[in-house]
Amino acid sequence: MSSNEEVVCPWCQTEIVWDPEIGPEDECPHCFNELNDYRSIDLKVKQTGQKLRFNEQEYAESDEDLSLAWDDSDEPLDKYGEKVQQISDEQEEAPECSSCHEFLLLAGTEVTSGASFTPSIPKTLGSAFLTGPFTTDVYVCPSCFRVEKVLSDTDRLLMVERIKSE
Q: What is the pLDDT of residues 80-132, one digit of tens each?
A: 888 988 999 999 988 999 989 899 999 999 999 878 889 999 998 889 999 88
How big, in percent rounded to 5, are the helix, strand and coil portions of the chain?
A: 20, 25, 60
Torsion of CA 75, 76, 80, 86, to 10 degrees: -50
Quote the CA–CA distance of 29 and 3 in Å, as a whole number.
16
Question: What's the rounded mean pLDDT across residues 153-161?
Answer: 93
Beta bridge partners of 23: 19
Quote the CA–CA distance of 102 and 100 in Å, as a whole number.
6
Confidence of residue 62 (pLDDT cuts 50, 70, 90): very low
pLDDT in tens, 101-110: 899 999 999 9
Q: What pLDDT sits at residue 17? A: 79
pLDDT in tens, 9-54: 777 878 877 777 877 777 888 887 777 665 556 666 656 666 555 5
Alpha-helical (H) ranges within 63-139 are 63-69, 79-90
Percentage of the chain surpassing pLDDT 90?
A: 33
Q: What pLDDT sits at residue 40? A: 57
In degrees and rounded to multiples of 5, residue 118 shows phi and psi of -110, 110
**Residue 4 near residue 16, CB atoms below 8 Å:** no
